[in-house]
Structure 1
Amino acid sequence: MQSSVPAKPAPTVEVYDFRRPTTLAREHSRVLELAFETFARQWGTQLTAKVRVISQVTSEQVLMQTYDDYAASLPATTAMVLCALEDISGKAVIQFPTSAALAWVTHMLGGSGNDRIPERKFTQVEQALISRLMEDALEDLRYSLGSLLTTPIALDSIHYNSQFAQAAATNDLMIVASFEIRVGESTAPATVAFPAEVLLAQLRDAFPMSSGANARSLIEAHLAQLPVEVSLQFAPMAVTPREVLGLAVGDVLPLPHPQHRPLDVAIGSQPLAHAAIGANGSRLAGVIVTTEEKSR
Structure 2
Amino acid sequence: MSEILSQEEIDALLQALNTGEVSVKEIEQENKEKKVKKYDFKSPKKLANDQLRTLNMIHENFSRILNTFLSGYLRTKVQIDVLSVEEVSYYEFSNSISNPAMLAIINFQPLPGQIVFEISNQLSFCIIDRILGGMGNYNGEIRAFTEIEVTLLNKMVRQMIKYFIDPWENVIELSPTLDKIETNSQFAQIVSHNETIALVTLRARIGDAEGLINICIPHIVLEPILPKLSTKYWFSTISKKTTDEEKKVLEKRVKRANLKIACIVGEASITVEDFLNLQEGDVITLNKTIRDEVEIMVEDKIKYLGKPGTIKNKLSVKVTKVIEKDDDEYDE
How far apart are the structure 1 equivalents of 2:172 and 2:179?
A: 17
How far apart are the structure 2 equivalents of 1:120 and 1:106?
A: 15
Q: Deviations over 1:102-121 (max 9, x none)?
A: 22121122111224152333
What amino acid is aligned across from residue 41 of structure 2 in structure 1? Y
Partner of residue 162 from structure 2, selected from 130, 134, 139: 139
- Cα deviation, residue 23, structure 1: 5.2
Structure with the largest fraction of helix = 2
Report how many residues are paired. Answer: 194
How far apart are the structure 1 equivalents of 2:70 and 2:164?
A: 14
What amino acid is aligned across from residue 123 of structure 1 in structure 2? T
Are the counterparts in 1 of residues 112 and 221 from structure 2 also a CA contact under 8 Å?
no
What amino acid is aligned across from residue 27 of structure 1 in structure 2? D
Residues 152 and 169 of structure 1: CA distance in aligned 2, closer, same or farther (over 3 Å): farther
Q: Deviations over 1:40-96 (max 9, x none)?
A: 111121111111111111111111222112111222432111112447774211102
- For 1:61, the equivalent position in structure 2 comes to 84
- For 1:104, the equivalent position in structure 2 comes to 127
Q: Secondary structure at the match of 1:148?
A: coil
- For 1:204, the equivalent position in structure 2 comes to 227
What amino acid is aligned across from residue 230 of structure 2 in structure 1? F
How far apart are the structure 2 equivalents of 1:100 and 1:24?
A: 30
Q: Deviations over 1:136-191 (max 9, x none)?
A: 22111222122434454211111122244212222222111001110001101120
Superposed, 1:1-296 pairs within 5 Å as 16=41, 21-22=44-45, 24-86=47-109, 90-150=113-173, 152-205=175-228, 207=230
Q: Secondary structure at the match of 1:92?
A: strand
Gaps in structure 2 of 5+ consecutive residues: 1-38, 233-332
Q: Which 4+ residue blocks in structure 1 deviate beyond 4 angstroms? A: 86-89
Gaps in structure 1 of 5+ consecutive residues: 1-13, 210-296
- For 1:260, the equivalent position in structure 2 comes to none
Q: What is the TM-score of this pair, normalised by structure 1?
A: 0.59
The share of aligned pairs that are identical, in percent, is: 22
- For 1:276, the equivalent position in structure 2 comes to none
How far apart are the structure 2 equivalents of 1:31 and 1:98?
A: 28
How far apart are the structure 2 equivalents of 1:208 and 1:180?
A: 24
Structure with the largest fraction of strand = 1
Q: Secondary structure at the match of 1:106?
A: helix
How far apart are the structure 2 equivalents of 1:174 and 1:115?
A: 31
- Cα deviation, residue 32, structure 1: 0.8
Q: Secondary structure at the match of 2:178?
A: strand
